[in-house]
Amino acid sequence: MAVVCRPARIDDLARADEIVVASINELTERRGFGKMASSRPQHFQAFSLADDSEGLWVADDEGEIVGFAWSWVCDKLWFLAQLFVAPDRQSDGIGNQLISKSFAHAEMRAASIKPLITFTFNNVSQGLYIRHGLFPRFPIYMVSVPRDRLASRLAEPRLRLESLTTKTAGFDQLARIDVSALGVSREKHHRYLLGDSTTSGFTIHAGSECVGYFYISGGHIGPLAVRRPDLAGPAFATALSFAATSDFPTISAFLPGASEPALKVATDHALRLTFPMLLMSNREFGDWVSYLPRNPGFM
């Protein structure tokens, strides 16, 4: 029987995660980076499945899941969060089947902006995405630093933080920040992050004005967004100052190559570039000086 692509179910997500981890590690080991991925709870996948079940698909070979695709939509923006095929099945045309289902999801939701984040050295996948009209835009760098080394380089923050919770969140205000940075509101994703017990959120203030927000989880900063490009550097520096007070041994973030202010702050604070990724899309969108993504699946 041929491989069948079918809508994912909640009980498929654990096996899908196994495929994602195995595929990433096969690639990164082959390229000399060693194993980079480990299994994690599938909370955001489950949230996306409940929110829009048309965005998650599995490739099923007589009851065995051999591939997984996951996309989500916010307004006119469709984002391909994951598309992976089991390492021993990657020459069977399964990726093409899955990407067809994913692009059908974008068409169904009338999404005009179609981005993703992939590995810079994954030339096979990049070729697949280019054939579907998604082109390389700029790199996104994973950066990190030991917390004790960061603490010795901090200056007094120029901006002020206020705790962000489901009770205090002004979702209209957050939407305006997201629209200025990305062109779309991500209210449902703020609600997801604020409901995650492992994540803390903060609004960023210049005087009495709310100029941005950021989230932090396990020492990892992101997403972070600000209203104007000139605020990106001070906002990231303020987030680093907060992160230095945590108990986590390592502080990290994803920084777009387009955000020179954030990259300068990173180098000034001894953060090292550890892993390169790449944003691809069907068109240019957003102000990527002003937005730092959370991870390649959340954006």
The pLDDT tens digits for 109-127 are 999 999 999 999 998 899 9
| Average pLDDT value for residue range 37-56 | 96
- What b/e string do you get for 180-214 counting C-beta neighbours within 10 Å, with b at 16 or more? bbbebbbbebbebbbebeeebbbbbebeeebbbbb
Percentage of the chain lying above the pLDDT 90 cut = 88
User: 23: pLDDT confidence band, cut at 50, 70 and 90?
Assistant: very high
d(CA 132, CA 115): 11
pLDDT above 90 (res 216): yes
Predicted confidence at residue 24, as pLDDT, reads: 94
The answer to whether the peptide bond before residue 223 is cis (omega within 30 degrees of 0) is: yes
For 85-115, how does the pLDDT look when each residue is reduced to its tens digit (9 = 90+)? 999 988 888 999 999 999 999 999 999 999 9
Predicted confidence at residue 203, as pLDDT, reads: 97
In terms of pLDDT, which residue wins out, 10 or 168?
10
| Average pLDDT value for residue range 22-33 | 90
Predicted confidence at residue 169, as pLDDT, reads: 78
CB 5 within 8 A of CB 97: yes
Query: Residues 6 or more apart from 150 whose CB is under 8 A from it?
Result: 240, 243, 244, 251, 269, 270, 271
- Amino acid present at 249: P
* DSSP letter, residue 113: B
pLDDT above 70 (res 265): yes
* DSSP letter, residue 10: G
Predicted confidence at residue 153, as pLDDT, reads: 81
- Greatest distance between any 2 Cα atoms in the chain: 64
User: 1: pLDDT confidence band, cut at 50, 70 and 90?
Assistant: low
Query: Residues 6 or more apart from 210 whose CB is under 8 A from it?
Result: 170, 173, 177, 203, 204
Predicted confidence at residue 167, as pLDDT, reads: 81
d(CA 256, CA 299): 11
| Average pLDDT value for residue range 23-38 | 90
pTM beyond cutoff 0.85 = yes
| Average pLDDT value for residue range 204-226 | 97
| Average pLDDT value for residue range 238-266 | 97
